[in-house]
Amino acid sequence: MSSEERRPRSLREVVFVDGVRTPFGKAGPKGIYAETRADDLIVRVIRELLRRNPALPADRVDEVAIAATTQIGDQGLTLGRTAALLAGLPKSVPGYSIDRMCAGALTAVTTTASGIAFGAYDVAIAGGVEHMGRHPMGEGADPNPRFFSEKLVDESALVMGSTAENLHDRFPHLTKERADAFALASQQKYAKAVANGQIGPELVTVATRSAEHGWGVATVDEPPRPNTTLEGLGTLKTPFRPHGHVTAGNAAGLNDGATGCLLAAEDVAQELGLRIGMRLVGYGFVGVEPEVMGVGPVPATERALARTGLSIEDIGLFELNEAFAVQVLAFLDHFGIADDDERVNPWGGAIAVGHPLASSGVRLMTQLSRQFAERPDVRYGLTAMCVGLGMGAAVIWENPNWEGNTP
């Protein structure tokens, strides 16, 4: 075929069809997944996506991209491919692993979505898993000594809690009191969303085992602390700095869990009769100083807005990852948004539900999609997060249920 005869290229609309996740667990020997393999968590997610979407033939899946931050052991071995095989997808379905630390699943989405837009795929599965109990962040890593000997980064850049303390230093008006109040609100909003049935339908049950207690079933998130009080938060230790600001109460914990979603070209979703949860508008990734990585979502959002021609006022719902309360507060202050704005994390966030690193991006997306279904008055939403080693990520989505679409 000559170059004159090749098929002309045109970008296609990409849609988020459906998302599910395991209940999130506490990392460590007493957590619900202490004796459960990481790859079994993501396999359970993939199987559930296919079960919930029977109109999708398994052989129509063109790619499986699964993120993990620590890609060793049961989170290694090209996890996207091995999980696809273990989940029973046809051997013709390829897969790969991806790592952008906390934004792993988010990057799995933007990467496969770009392939769909370009025409390389019609349908893809993207997600992430992190078993921080089995594989603590940084396990087996060997940072190049040049980072410190040549002062390429501050030594605090490799300790996420220290980077949050650095952010408090940079923005002293973001006090510990504000961070604690935001953390309390996250717990309260999460509890209310569970009581209202808004959180729960996206969960897939997971069989667990314990040598001591036998078999069990994980059905609900383990990390939330519904009895949290402002007074109690004020008494917690600041492990990253004496008399500091960051505590176990105003930061996400160490967690285990997996997430996954179905993405498709909009015309293919319509052809197959798949639901359309939301439509991809644009995204942005940026780098920032590693020692204040929590500020990353600010320039990432600015980039995404600039490249889509939107403004912050166009965003009607925000799903911001709560790695640390101070990181979200820095974002809100920059854009002139109140700490208690109802558009922000309306169902709570990672401070309550947990943050299994690479999996969290798809949790944000799944919740935003479900919120869109309830909010036809909202056209655009944002999912954003800070990323270890000094990065930020933001993705803008459009609500297909927006009432302005009605003739």
Q: What is the dihedral of CA 186, 187, 192, 195, to 10 degrees?
A: 140
Average pLDDT rounded to a whole number, residues 19-47: 97
Report pLDDT for 138: 87
DSSP 387-407: ETTTEEEEEEEE-TT-GGG--
Residue 30 has pLDDT above 70, yes or no: yes
Residue 120 has pLDDT above 70, yes or no: yes
Lowest mean pLDDT among 150-159, 259-268, 286-295, 348-357: 150-159
Report pLDDT for 379: 98
For 211-250, list the strands marked E by DSSP.
214-218
- Architecture per CATH, domain 14-133+153-396, reads as 3-Layer(aba) Sandwich (3.40)
Residue 406 has pLDDT above 70, yes or no: no
Question: Which residues lie closer than 8 Å to 307 by C-beta, 6 or more apart?
Answer: 282, 284
Lowest mean pLDDT among 134-138, 181-185, 390-394: 134-138
Report pLDDT for 174: 97
Q: Can you give the pTM of this predicted structure?
A: 0.96
Report pLDDT for 4: 57
User: What is the average pLDDT score of the chain?
Assistant: 96
What are the pLDDT digits (tens) for 346-379?
A: 999 999 999 999 999 999 999 999 999 999 999 9
What are the pLDDT digits (tens) for 326-337?
A: 999 999 999 999
Phi and psi dihedrals of 317, rounded to 5? -145, 140
Report pLDDT for 148: 86
Residue 9 has pLDDT above 90, yes or no: no
Distances (CA, A) of 295 to 182, 245, 313: 17, 16, 20
Cβ–Cβ < 8 Å for 136, 254? yes
Average pLDDT rounded to a whole number, residues 162-181: 97
Residue 337 φ/ψ region, left for φ over 0, alpha for ψ in the -120 to 50 degree band, beta for the rest: beta
Residue 237 has pLDDT above 70, yes or no: yes
CA distance 117 to 111: 10
* Whole-number percent of the chain with pLDDT over 70: 98
Report pLDDT for 3: 53
Lowest mean pLDDT among 99-113, 135-149, 310-324: 135-149
407: confidence class by pLDDT, cuts 50, 70, 90: low
Report pLDDT for 169: 96
Nearest to 84 by CA among 92, 73, 72: 92
Catalytic residue set: 102, 355, 386
Residue 1 has pLDDT above 50, yes or no: no
CA distance 60 to 43: 18
Q: What are the extents of the domains in the chain?
A: 14-133+153-396
Residue 104 has pLDDT above 90, yes or no: yes
